[in-house]
């Protein structure tokens, strides 16, 4: 069977079809298929795709079996290094999904894999509940919509999320799925089952964002089988919800560079971007802003009310466009923002990847961190958007709480390199600084100006540092890994305030 797309040819063997006919799969079984992808940039790349059979809920003796997809790329040359198990972020993403002929970024994906294949075998693992070779748990929900003439509200958004949660759980329960099995513990056990099925004694973990959190879970449950780990966008087990002040600190580090940009300096009010932000929040506290904009749906005019919580939701995760957004709103240029908010508030069908809340609400946070989140001074700027909905709906999602003992930090002797960007607003650098002392054989590499996930930028822009990370993957040695590298940052967006 062949596919032709964008000049790419892929050939997939049919050996798996014969294997499946041999009998019903059992827990721990693996089906492997030979595969190849060809691009003009990489030539033909041979690899294997596979499916691992696992129990949906290991605590239930009669649990139904589900499938988890994976792919294995053999090392480019014989290597004594343990295989590199790459764990995707999310929850609700797949590193296998882009490995398709029609993917316009296929060549770059294969080149990234080649970089790791120089160190050893590379195994890409899907998440249970988000694997095209098994189940993809999504739920399409028709939202009731939000009023246009009232400011946005965390409380209203959380109530709508709870409504969706109840409906999604009810639908999947009717289908016979045991949603209790979709936890990070089960994901960790899937990795160890795959390791065993492929015949590896020990493995190296490579993970970004939730992939790093998943890696921490593997180390907790199967640490004797982990040789080492390279983690970026670091998310410790008790840090699934980001501390607002830590996110805002990353924003402020970005603003430090933005305020030195001559194109922006002339637009800054006294006190800079921080004072502009405070003035906007104070203005919105006094009264919501009401903006008349053209309704793209009806062609008429509609009034959109904008308040403090709308600004908190939208302002601080815009990357290089963040300063321009703040300055525009400070100058009372509301039309573009109001149009964006109007589209969001409409009643519409939304596809939810429910593996995200299933895993995240089960993982939760300790009571101490929950208290710190709710009382954090950074909520003045970011509000409670980052955690309120999940904290409020944890019991609705049915996945069992993993327990404070599992979330709690514990000293671990596994060598781990933490590569972390100090502009990361998804998993702030403070996450790494908090967890690193528990890994006495570890090393921290801070990428100045780095965002969420810095391994690829380091490889591109700091080759000497990447060479040391590569040596770590091969040997486990952290010698020579620098404490810091400086990455180029994107050009800041300049608002048109004429």
* Predicted local distance difference test score (pLDDT) of residue 299: 86
Residue 69, both tokens: 């997809």
Residue 278, both tokens: 């405070």
- The sign one gets for the Cα dihedral 325, 331, 337, 339 is negative
Average pLDDT over residues 128-151: 95
Distance CA 239, CA 220 (A): 15
Helix (H) or strand (E) holding 279: helix 272-286
What residues are paired with 30 via a beta bridge? Answer: 52
Question: pLDDT per residue over 303-330, tens digit each?
Answer: 999 999 999 999 998 999 999 999 999 9
Range with lowest mean pLDDT among 21-35, 57-71, 356-370: 21-35
Helix (H) or strand (E) holding 185: helix 184-197
Helix axes 244-258, 272-286, angle to 10 degrees: 130
Quick one: what percent of the chain has pLDDT higher than 90?
92
Helix (H/G/I), strand (E/B), else coil: 46: strand
What residues are paired with 491 via a beta bridge? Answer: none
Helix axes 322-330, 272-286, angle to 10 degrees: 50
Average pLDDT, the chain: 94
Nearest to 489 by CA among 280, 265, 302, 253: 253
The answer to whether the beta carbons of residues 223 and 412 sit under 8 Å apart is yes
**Whole-prediction pTM value?**
0.93
Q: Give me the residue spans of the domains in the chain.
A: 2-134+180-242+406-486, 138-176+350-405, 268-347
* Predicted local distance difference test score (pLDDT) of residue 107: 96
Q: What's the helix, strand, coil split of the chain in %, to 5?
A: 40, 20, 40
Average pLDDT over residues 157-181: 97
What residues are paired with 318 via a beta bridge? Answer: none
- Whether residue 339 is predicted with pLDDT greater than 60 in this model: the reply is yes
Distance CA 162, CA 170 (A): 12
* Predicted local distance difference test score (pLDDT) of residue 317: 87
Residue 112, both tokens: 């990234």
| CATH number of the 2-134+180-242+406-486 domain | 3.40.50.1820
Please, which pLDDT band fits residue 253 given cuts at 50, 70 and 90? very high
Distance CA 5, CA 415 (A): 42
């Amino acid at each position: 069977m062949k596919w032709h797309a964008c000049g790419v040819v892929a050939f997939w063997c049919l050996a798996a079809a014969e294997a499946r006919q041999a009998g019903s799969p059992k827990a721990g079984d693996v089906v492997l298929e030979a595969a190849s992808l060809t691009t003009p940039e990489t030539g033909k790349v041979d690899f294997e795709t596979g499916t691992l059979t696992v129990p949906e809920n290991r605590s239930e003796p009669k649990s139904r079996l589900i499938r988890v997809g994976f792919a294995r790329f053999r090392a480019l040359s014989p290597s004594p290094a343990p295989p590199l198990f790459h764990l995707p972020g999310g929850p609700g993403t797949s590193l296998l999904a882009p490995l398709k002929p029609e993917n316009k970024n296929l060549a770059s994906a294969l080149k990234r894999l080649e970089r790791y294949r120089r160190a050893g075998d590379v195994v890409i693992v899907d998440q249970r509940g988000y694997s095209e070779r098994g189940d993809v748990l999504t739920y399409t929900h028709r939202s009731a919509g939000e009023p246009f003439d009232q400011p946005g509200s965390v409380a209203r958004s959380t109530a709508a999320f709870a409504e969706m949660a109840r409906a999604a759980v009810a639908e999947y329960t009717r289908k016979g799925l045991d949603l209790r099995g979709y936890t990070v513990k089960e994901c960790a056990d899937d990795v160890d089952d795959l390791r065993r099925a492929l015949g590896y004694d020990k493995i190296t973990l490579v993970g970004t964002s939730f992939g790093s959190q998943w890696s921490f879970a593997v180390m907790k449950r199967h640490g004797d089988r982990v040789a080492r780990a390279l983690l970026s966008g670091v998310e410790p087990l008790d840090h699934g919800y980001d501390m607002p002040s830590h996110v805002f600190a990353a924003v402020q580090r970005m603003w430090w560079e933005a305020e030195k940009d001559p194109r922006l300096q002339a637009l800054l009010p006294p006190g800079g971007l921080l004072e502009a932000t405070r003035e906007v929040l104070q203005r919105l506290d006094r009264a919501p802003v009401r903006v008349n904009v053209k309704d793209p749906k009806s062609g008429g005019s509609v009034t959109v009310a904008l308040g403090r919580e709308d600004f908190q939701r939208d302002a601080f995760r815009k990357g290089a466009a963040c300063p321009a957004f703040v300055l525009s709103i400070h100058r009372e240029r509301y039309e573009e923002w109001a149009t964006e908010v109007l589209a969001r508030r409409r009643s519409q069908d939304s596809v939810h990847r429910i593996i995200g809340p299933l895993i995240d609400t089960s993982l939760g946070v300790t009571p101490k961190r929950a208290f710190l989140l709710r009382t954090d001074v950074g909520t003045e700027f970011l509000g409670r958007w980052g955690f309120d909905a999940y904290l409020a709906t944890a019991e609705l999602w049915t996945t069992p709480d993993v327990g404070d003992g599992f979330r709690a930090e514990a000293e671990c002797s596994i060598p781990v390199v933490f590569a972390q960007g100090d502009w990361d607003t998804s998993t702030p650098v403070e996450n790494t600084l908090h967890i690193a002392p528990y890994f006495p054989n570890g090393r921290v590499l801070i990428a100045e100006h780095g965002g969420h996930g810095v391994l690829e930028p380091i490889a591109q822009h700091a080759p000497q540092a990447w060479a040391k990370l590569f040596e770590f993957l091969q040997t486990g040695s952290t010698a020579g890994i620098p404490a810091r590298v400086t990455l180029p940052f994107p050009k800041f967006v300049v608002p048109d305030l004429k």
